[in-house]
Structure 1
Amino acid sequence: MDKTHAPPLSGIRILDFTRVIAGPLATQQLADLGATIIKLENPVTGDEVRGMSAVGPPRSPFFVAFNRSKQSVAIDLKTARGQQLARDLAAQCDVLVQNFRPGVMERFGLDHAALRAADPRLIYVSVSAYGEHTAMRERPGFDPVLQAESGMMELTGEADGPPMRTGLSLIDTLTAAHLSTAVLAAIMSRAQTGYGDYIDLALLDTAIAALGNMGSTWLTTGTAPSRAGNNHIHSTPNGLFQTATEPMYFAVGSDKLFGELCRIIGVPRLAQDQRFETVGMRHANRDELRGEIEAVLTQHSANHWVALTRHLPAGKVRTMDEAYASPEVAERKLVHEVGDEEETFRVVRSPFQFAETPVADYRVPPKLGQDTRKF
């Protein structure tokens, strides 16, 4: 296997004005593929997540999560000199990504119309809550707000409880994936046409697209799915079940998988029970089925059942430290150490692994403005 050639985005320069999660995560993914990321930050505060933790600046865990392998340039965009420096940097780059509220970059003279007029090959990406050119363009918005407004929160939580946000910034993370994909497509398009493009990406768009089959249910039937807590809305047993120790999640909704589960846990009679013969009947009698299954599962520990059900889609609920220490994470080499003369950090590698294509070496996240003089 020859990985002596350069990473695929080597030579691509990206000017990154983004802060917090969606934009920084996307440009970090592109950095892993070899792009040079020039992170342009406020010289006083930098990316606001630099101080958003108990550890604090200059490199908080929040900042470390989304900003490895980048270079930091500190420029005051509220000054004419800072704006000119930013324009000069943009002229040296292939891609510009920004997530200021709509209108801010225009006030700085850094909007896509101005910069692409100067360089038609520039790929310009705007990330906002509701889109750059909508009636709601001035409204601020963050991940949990869009979870609420998109209907995602209404789908999350127990059936008899209030709507809940997800424990992670899901919309931001998905937006990052869409952003990096769109940039790659624009780079390919430019290779064919010679021209860059303007990409308008909204958190709202990501949130609505993320509704997936749930959204499709409403679009095709006019009936919205209801909250089901940790259970699947269509199949059973497909949810969280208590053992003698930790709870476990079983996703064994099909007839075949259900029969195999019954055999493994020692109650094959359940697969022949008329109440549970089909997917629909199991779901209709889900409370009775849960009682039957948990009566068996609570006789032994989660680890006992994990060992027995290793060929089924099932797993116990782990704590975060258990997840990071798991043999699966170790075998996939998901955690890497990066460091400099002052600090060492553990970071999670990009999820993709290539057989032939090298990725860039992971480098420590930058200190605020550490590369300003170089540029």
Structure 2
Amino acid sequence: MVDRARVVLSGFAVRSAHGSGQDALLAGAFGGTPAFAPVTRFDTARRRTDTAATMPGAPRLADELVGAVVDACADASLGREHRAGTPLLLAAHADHDNTATALEVAARTGLPDPPRTYTAACVAATSAVADAAAMIAGGRVDRAVVAAGFLVDGDTFAVFDAGRALAADGHVRPFSAGRQGMLLGDAVAAVVLESADSARARRVSAKAALLGWGRTGDAYHVCKPRPDGEGLARAVHTALRRADVPAAEVGYVNANGTGTPQSDSAEAAALRQVFGADLDRIPVSSTKSVHGHALEASGLLELIVTVLALRTGRLPVNAGFLAADEDCRLNLVLDGDRRLRRDRALTVNAAFGGANTALLVGAP
């Protein structure tokens, strides 16, 4: 690696419409079982669709974030004596009072304030991960906690519905012919990142290594992706170069795959730029097809999915597929029997405004 310190993921926690914990996520995402259902949290009578992937009841974001951070710290054997100098980087939806939420989460979990907050749409969480990794690799901190949360609300649902971004048929079909759009989903997640030396000194077994990360902005359009995927391709190249890993050694790609026509075709073009003919053999799937799009929290949820793929050797399913689209020629994971053949995997995200991120993870 270019950076001096190896960054590892020593603990994580996740909550979504599939349930709480990694077993629930494994059953849903890796089994290809969508968590979409009619929304009961708010009125959808005047909307084109009534469907999202939501947790039961009326969860409060700060409470869910506190629970996820506490669980991730426990998973990393990170006691309160270690948290005093551990920064919190928090990604949450911009419609909320993120400063107040972040301060509450820090106070209730024993992490120092002021926390750093991120609202950069669908790359908020992955931007936070990249910043945390850079801080650790550069020797500025031994470890950091990254948390992210989004709970589907009526206002956000209405905005995406008005923009005709939501799938009217109630299914997310990434990279498939006949795809109609995305669906929103709840997600709250937290990860503990630290230097390998720090984890070793604490006698903690790392879950995975964060080998490389990349961020770019192509500024093509306020909401449309650049059709050739050049910005996303540069983000992936940056992550691979930072890790000093050839593209051919990537064994799986967890795609952004929103299920929208333009975004999916642009992403497929980006991956083709990076991997060339090797893309025909690399398995690809978008787990938004089962857990929905969690906006600012999507990247962290999908990072955890990618880590679980490495740890279990299983590949999550690209659900909702109907038929091949010539603009999205990918080796899609369409059933739950596919296995991961290599020990490196990539997860990518893209956001409005042309922001792109790529995270490369590997065996610890």
TM-score (normalizing by structure 2): 0.25
From the CA coordinates, give the structure whose radius of gyration is larger: 1
Give the strand-richer structure, 1 or 2: 2
The normalised TM-score by structure 1 is 0.25
Q: Which has the higher contact order (CA 8 A, sep 6+)?
A: 2
